Structures are given as structure tokens and as C-alpha cells.
Chains A and B, each alone.
Chain A
Amino acid sequence: MLDYTPKEITERKALNVNPAKTCQPIGAMYAALGINKCLPHSHGSQGCCSYHRMHLTRHFRDPIVASTSSFTEGACVFGGKSNLVKGIQNVFNIYNPDIIAVNTTCLSETIGDDVGEFIRDSKVPEGKRVIYANTPSYAGSHVTGFSNMCKSMVTQIAESTMGEGNNGKVNIMPGFVEPSDMKEIKRIAEEIGMDYTMYPDTSDVVNTPNTGKYDMYPEGGTSVEAIRESGDAMATVALGKYTSEEAAFKLEHKCKVAPYVLKVPLGIKATDAMIFKFIELTGKSVPKALEKERGQLVDLMVDVHHHYHGKKVAIFGDPDIVTAMTEFVIDLGMIPKYVLTGTPGKVFAKDIYHMLENAGIEGSSVKSEGDLFELHQWIKNEPVDLIIGNTYGKYIARAENIPLVRVGFPILDRVGHSYFPVVGYMGAMRLIEKISTAFLDKYDQECADEDFELVM
């Protein structure tokens, strides 16, 4: 497996091998699915749209539907206006969504299509909406695309209608996480008794039940009206700098809603911080149920600390998830030896180094805009005990006989992740179970018979 990856690292300036990121529009498509009765639309040639639908479908094992402008060569020369105008008309006629959320691709961005103008010239039925985000694939990553669509929800939908007052609600921008994670964050807010609006929210959109009746627009997703009213909220809690910060700042700029940017609540510290912010904002107290969960998590951390203490781990994936995961791994007594994201941006490395320094951990490699080929080379030079990342980590895991715990996007080869959270105290417990099991399974498979233990 990956036999041609040499141990010796040579500098690469042009060639990316085995990327640790993908392109913007898929993130925008995912974000758009978090709006109720929304059909994402890809303004480009149709290959992008199919790839993005495919990839999300493989991850969620649920229908992911989106339309496309289906550019031809002629449209590249004359611009994609007619394709988009016709596309919007056909979508409303045939599929009748409440809202279309247009993303762009490297094609329409390179030719300079003015999507906003095209939409203004389109026939949008009464009471329906079309929003758009510019999502050039040659800048940033899928995470950037997610952030850009979230920003567009703010700039094109949110409004402040109450003047100075606020409606007492807190906006939660959950970041690029699983529907199960969004549901868990909502549950925590509800346990506290906080009035909130979460957007985007893909729970009950990309993890729907099988009822024998297909519903193109499932019940989940944040309503356009709720997003509109988010301009009247008392505050925005934005989870994840890369995915949610800019949208929250936009909302502050547009509607004066105070933004609070926190980590994605993965791990004990980040969950504490989110809950603390919730009670600070609402003046409510933390309910017994959540305190109990937290205590159970601490209990588990104490009970099995020896499973992971001092173990070296490589973590890769999307910056917000990896940052929170690194913090949790440190709290578990593990050593984040390699921390890598494919997404560009300086904040990532700064935050990770800061955490490592605080924990007194030296000698770790941290990189943004990295790829999995380089991560593998690092591992060849000094191995780790565990890899935490998405499905693409399985090639390295197999090549080097290192267990892989699947966290992040995409997970293409295992099921259940869209139903069980990794965030919150419950999610942290699930992660501990996964990490411990990974170590113990490997031990069980590889130890000598006389070392084979019944109780571990």
C-alpha cells in the first residue's frame, strides 16, 4: 500500500499528492442543504454538481439533490446567464423549492459571470428566493465554500427589524459538522432552556428516516424566516473560526448582533466553553442532566486514561475539527505529533502551536495547505500510535499498520456517523470509546497468546 511514498522528504512546489481538502462548492452545497426546502444549484458545468452530490451522498448515505446550470462550451464563450436564468425557471417549475442557493465553480468564476445580476434578471415566483455565494474552487477549500454560503445567508437573508431591541434568541452557527452534531448542540441548548436559531442545520435533511415515501424537501433545515429573523437575535455563537466566524462578523456588521467565536465543541474543554457561553448569554444555569453527562465523561477519562496516555497521534482534516480534536487529544494525555489540514490559512497553525506550547509538548509538526503524502512521509520518519482523520487516512493506516479513528469529512467506508455525535460530552465519550477500542483491538490482534487478556 502506497509503496512509492519515499521516506526521504523532498520539497514539492507544484505537485499535490493525496489532498487533505477538496474544493469550495461542495461545502456551499452542504451549507445550503441546511436551509429548509432549499435546492442547492451549481453554476458551472454539470460534472462539479454530480461529483459534489456523489461525494455527499457517499458520506451520508442519504439523498443529496442539487441542480446545475450545465454549461456547454458555447456558454463559456458567451457567459452563463442564459443557463442560469433557464435553470432557475426550470427548477421552480419542476421542483418548487422555497429557495434556491446558487454556488459557483472555477468555470463561472474564471469567466467572470455576475451571478447576482443574473439572478436579478431571473423570474423568481412570488414568495420564493434565490441566494448565491461565489465559491471559486481555486481559492481555499470546501471549508471556505461552506463559510461563503453561510455568509451569503447572512448578507442576503438576515435582517434586523426590531431596531435596538432583540428577540432574546441566540444564533448558533454550528460549522461544517455532522447532522448528528448539530442535533447534539441543539439538545444542549434546549437542556439549558436557551431560545436559539441554528443555521445552517442539516439534521433531518441528510439523515432522514425511511418511511417508504420520498420527500425531496425533508422536514429539517432552518426556515428562511428563521434565518431572516436572526438579525434580531441577542448574540451569535459561531462555532469554528474557519467555518462560522465570517458569517457571524457579517451579521454583526449588518444587524449589530454580537458575535462570539468559539471552537467546535468537540472535547471537554470546548464543550465547557460553549455551555459557559450559553449560560453567560442567557443567565440560565446548567441543568443537572448536563452536569451528569460531564461527570460521566470525566469518570471515563479517569477510568481508561492508561489506554491513551503518552500515545502519539497524527490528526488531519478540516481546520475547525482538527483544532478542537487536538485540544481534546492533549486533554486525554496523548501527544499530537502531526497536525495537518489541507485548507490554507495562518490561524490554524498559530492556534495549534499555542495549545502545544501550553501543554509543554515539543517536536510536533503542524501544517496548513499540507497533503496526505507529506503526512505519510512524516509518519515514515517517526511513526505514531494512532491516526485521527477522514476515510482517506485508511491508506496510510494500512501501509504503516496504525489504527485509524474516523472523524471529520468525509467518512465513506463506515456507517452511523450521521446519527451519533462527536461534539458535546456525549460525543467526547463516543470518541474515547472509539480511540480506546482502536488501541485494544490492535493489541488483541497482535499480542502473543500468553499476553491475551480477558479483562482490559
Chain B
Amino acid sequence: MSESVKTMDKILESYSAKVMKNRKKHMLVVDHQEEKQKIDANTRTIPGIITNRGCCYAGCKGVVIGPVVDMVHITHGPIGCGYYSWGTRRNKGKAREGGKNFLAYSFNTDMQESDIVFGGDKKLAKAIQEAYDIFKPKAISVSATCPVGLIGDDIHMVAKQASQKLGIPVLSFSCEGYKGVSQSAGHHIANNKLMTDVVGTNDDYEPKEFSINILGEYNIGGDEWEITRVLNKIGYHVITTMTGNAAIDEMAAAHKADLNLIQCHRSINYIGDMIEKKYGIPWLKVNFIGVKAFTQSLRDMAKYFDNPQLTKRTEEVIKQELGEIKEDIAKYKAMCDGKTAMLFVGGSRAHHYQGMLKEIGMDTILAGYEFAHRDDYEGRDIIPDIKLDADSRNIEEIEVDQDEQKYRLRLSKEKYEALKKEIPLSNYEGMISEMADGMIAIDDINHYETEIFVKVLKPDFFGSGIKDKYIIQKMGVYSKQMHSYDYAGPYAGFKGAVNFARDVAAGVNTSAWQYIIAPWKKEPSLAGKIGVE
């Protein structure tokens, strides 16, 4: 029996029967010989288990809505939620020419006891007015926090009235923290509103040739800028990125593109699907992380557009970019070769970084998500199998219809079907499909499991978040933050690959590791020798 299986069993055995029964379904050792393996995901967190998960508000305001640069994002609630999501996710942004960028600000209604008792609607309406008077933004968002739903504040009505009065969009999100079981519910709620109220509302926009959108890319540490640098060089025109460095007018023109690229499937697949249905734009699952994956994605894009010049330019740019980074990657590979890694990241990166790690000679032995769904693990073909449970049933599912005026078929049905066999067109195979036999896939890993897996499997690298980082490093294992990139980046694209390789090489090899055990604990004591000679 492999060490992985033994460790998994040991962990499960130490749990109470109930916890064991639950956790058992959330972990597996990958075995592609078996018929398709099933993993439980997107179920409620076990109280007291010490999860890494956050909440629906974090998924909506913190992840999807917050990065839009020219909107004022108001948190309706007590001060904490708005405060903790202020400047902590590194979604970079710049003001457009003549536009504004509010990312350095945190806007809050700062609810007090009297607001809980008498309702906060009036304060919210006033806060929106004050924000408008002072900042004159292009649009405003309102995100609800836990108590808002409980006391029955009607934020949608307040937003609607404010929007009519001020003449700008005021988007309201019922993303109370208790909704769903994780950040994931918040993604869904944000997607719904962006789809119904924003996408498709800007018809003045003139798309250029090879117009695309990048979906589920939040420009952490400048990732999006590195990606678009390369895409622009090839000849693509990015209308909007949702939502890293996004501007509202650009998002509103998303329906003018000919292809949507999806980086983070979990957070944005809803919009990807809905845009396809409503406007006829297919989406392509891409991966900008790692040289090989990025190169592959660029080639898939070229196949989609099937234009000789674009294809030629794609290969030229790939060749040129590879030439520039080859030596650096080789240098860092030499420093990391043969080492092992574990990855535990939100809902997408635990998959996306495996190839990159492999390129610098590191095998991923365990990978998992905080809040991904079964399709992110097992692939989209199992979606019909997924049953909504009581905790997620209240997350609104919206239906969109084909827009008679704006719908345009981008590819013939035959071409579409043919391409689907070659490239991941409107499809995602999931993380497990790319994992090797014997690797562990684990969902919603907790503190206890993390500690045991690190102790027993002794990885050289653990890519996770800030809450894990120092726990793992106290065990003598390098832990890199894969959410914030430890304040570095970009990690996407060609130059990002070098940055990532350099940072991992530095972290794994930093000389501090050799000092953890004091010399007097390693060598026989010299005490008592003085004076004896």
C-alpha cells in the first residue's frame, strides 16, 4: 500500500465516525485504471474542523466585483467585511484615460446597533448618495453581509431607486456570508448580476478583428497585463477581462467578442455559458500558467480563429518568447529538479500550476481545492450528475435566452463540433484528468489533514494560502502563497513563468532552512573540553 493511501487511512481512522464518513468522500488517490473516480465537493463545512474556506461575500465582492476599477463598491454591513477585503487580494488595476480607479478605497455603511434594530435601508441609500456626490463613479455596487439578509434590508429596491435617481448603474448583490457553503456561492451571485445588468449593455463599442474576452482572470500581481502583452503582440484584441483591471463599459461590451477565454472555470463558467447561449460566443478553456500550458492555449486559440496570418504570428511570438526565457527556466529547473510539491488553492490554481511545477522538475503529490465543485475535479461531463443539496439550493439559477438582435453564430455547427474534438471548446476536463496515478486529490482540506500530510509525505513545497503558510514553514517546509504570490508576480504568461520559477527556486533553496537545527543539537557537545587538555 502506498504511503498516500496509508496516510489517508490513518487520518480517517482518527476521526469520529460521523466526521470520517464525511471526509472519506472528499479525498481519493488518483487511479485512472478505475472507472471514473468520484469526489464529494461543494458540501457544507464541518463545524470546528478548521477549514480554510471563506464566505459568499468574499466570493462576490472580494473576488468578482471588487476588482472592477471604476466602480465604487459599497459594503453594506458592519465594518469588518469591507475592511478585510480592502487591498488584501492583489487584483491590480489602472484608471483608463479620463477614467477613475477606486481600488485604494474601502467604502462601507459601517452598520451600527441601531441599523440592526431599525433597518439599514435608509443609511444605505444615503451612503450611495454620498458616494456619488463625492466620487462621481461610473457605477456603484452594493454587497450585502450576514446581518443584511437577516434583518430584511431590501438592498435591491434601494439600488434600483438610487440608479434611477443618479442615472448610473447601481448593482446590488445579495451575497450574505452564510449563503451556500463557501466563496463559490458568491461567484455565482456576482455572475448572475453581471450577466443580466452589465454584459450586452454597451452597443457603441466597435470590436476589432480577433476580439476576445478573458474570463475568470483577476490580474493578481499583474497576471492579466502579462497575458495581454503576449495576446496583443500576436494580434488579438481584448475587449474586457472579467474582472481583473476591468472597467464597466468594457465589460458591458463583452458580447461583441468572437471568443471567450476561461482561465478560472469555477468563478466564471456561469457567465461563459450564459454569453454563449445569449450571444453565440463560444468559450475556450485556457491555462496561462506555465510555458507549456500557455503555448498550448495560444495554439488552441489560433485553431479557433483559423486565420493563416494569426497562426503564423502565434508561432513567431511563441518562438521569440521561448527564446527569451529558456535559459532562466533551465537555471531554476536545475535548482528544483526532483523535488515534490503539494497544492491547495481556492478553486482553480491547484490544477493550473501542476504543469508549471513539472516544467521545473517538481512533481505534485497532492492537490486540492477549498471550494471547487465536482466538475472542476472530474470534468464538465459529470455536471448532469451533480445534485444540488439543501445548502446551495437557494443560490439563484438564472436562465438566459438567445438575444434575437445581438445573437450571432461565430462558427458553423459542423466546425464547432469538429473543433470540440481538438480543443477544449466550451469544455473543461477537470483537475483529476491531468493528475498522475497515486496522487492525492482532496477537497476542503483542514488544518489537521494538512499537518499530517506534510509530516508524512514531506513535500519540498506547499503552495497554499496565508493561513497555512507559516504553519507549514514551522515544519521546515517552504510554503508559497498561491493566492497572493507572496506579494510578487506576475506568474502568468511567459515572463510570469520565470518569476514563478525564480521565486520557488529561492524559497526551496534559501539558506535559512539549513539553520533550523542549531549546531549544538547536531554535533556532539564540546562542553567540558576547556581546561581538560
Residues in A lying within 8 Å of B, measured CB to CB: 1-4, 6, 10, 12-19, 21-23, 25-26, 41, 44-48, 50-55, 57-58, 61-76, 83-84, 86-91, 93-95, 105-107, 110-111, 136-139, 141, 208, 210-216, 342, 373, 395
Contact = CB atoms under 8 A, between A and B. Distances in A.
B93 interface: no
A62 B106 contact: no
Interface in B233-257: none
B47 A15 contact: no
B466 A214 contact: no
A18 B517 CA distance: 44
A210 B467 contact: no
B381 interface: no
A451 B179 CA distance: 62
Given A51-B85, A212-B474, 17 more contacts: A14-B124, A50-B52, A50-B55, A50-B467, A51-B54, A62-B470, A67-B49, A70-B45, A74-B390, A87-B47, A93-B16, A94-B15, A137-B77, A137-B79, A210-B473, A210-B474, A212-B475
Contacts, number: 252
Contacts of B471: 63, 65, 214
B177 A2 contact: no
B482 to A, nearest CB: 14
How big is the B interface, by class?
35 or more
A18 B181 contact: no
B474 to A, nearest CB: 4
B78 A106 contact: yes
Interface string B139-164: 00000011101110000000000000
B109 interface: yes
Contacts of A66: 50
Contacts of B123: 14
A10 B132 CA distance: 12
Interface string B33-56: 000000000001111111111111
Given A46-B45, A214-B475, A15 B74 contact: yes
Contact of A63 (B116, B147, B179, B474): B474
Nearest to A64: B467
B81 interface: yes
B73 to A, nearest CB: 12
Contacts of B125: 14
B467 A54 contact: yes
26 contacts: A14-B123, A16-B107, A17-B106, A17-B108, A19-B108, A22-B83, A23-B80, A51-B85, A54-B84, A55-B84, A63-B470, A65-B471, A67-B50, A68-B47, A70-B47, A72-B181, A74-B390, A87-B47, A89-B16, A90-B48, A95-B447, A106-B111, A107-B177, A138-B111, A138-B147, A342-B79
A16 B150 contact: no
Interface in B175-191: 177-181
Nearest to B133: A10
B126 interface: yes
Contact of A94 (B127, B147, B448): B448
A412 B466 CA distance: 12
B467 A53 contact: yes
Contacts of B150: 76, 107, 110-111
A270 to B, nearest CB: 28
Interface stretch (B97-105, B215-223, B307-315, B422-430): B97-105
B106 A211 contact: no
Contacts of B106: 17-19
Nearest to A70: B45
A12 B150 CA distance: 26
Interface of B: 14-16, 19, 44-58, 74, 77-86, 88, 100, 102, 104-113, 115-116, 123-127, 130-131, 133-135, 145-147, 149-151, 177-181, 390-391, 394, 447-448, 451, 465-467, 469-476, 516-517
Contact of A65 (B48, B50, B83, B178): B50
A395 B130 contact: no
A33 to B, nearest CB: 14
Contacts of A53: 467
A214 B47 contact: no
Contacts of B470: 57, 61-63
Contacts of A2: 104-105
A141 B79 contact: yes
A212 B476 contact: yes
B80 A395 contact: no
Contacts of B147: 106-107, 110, 138
Contacts of A22: 79-80, 83-84
Contact of A23 (B52, B79, B107): B79
Nearest to B182: A46
Contact of B48 (A61, A64, A74, A88): A88
Nearest to B186: A47
Contacts of A395: 104
A106 B466 contact: no
Contacts of B14: 94
B108 A15 contact: yes
Given A4-B135, A58-B466, A72-B178, A14 B126 contact: yes
Contacts of A17: 105-108
A428 B115 CA distance: 42
A26 B80 CA distance: 9
Contact of B100 (A4, A16, A46, A54): A4
A265 B483 CA distance: 38
Contacts of B45: 46, 68, 70
Contact of A57 (B19, B58, B78, B466): B466
A94 B467 contact: no
B391 A74 contact: yes
Contacts of A71: 177-178
A24 to B, nearest CB: 8
Contacts of B145: 106
A318 to B, nearest CB: 14
Given A10-B134, A16-B107, A136-B113, A47 B78 contact: no
Contacts of A12: 130, 134
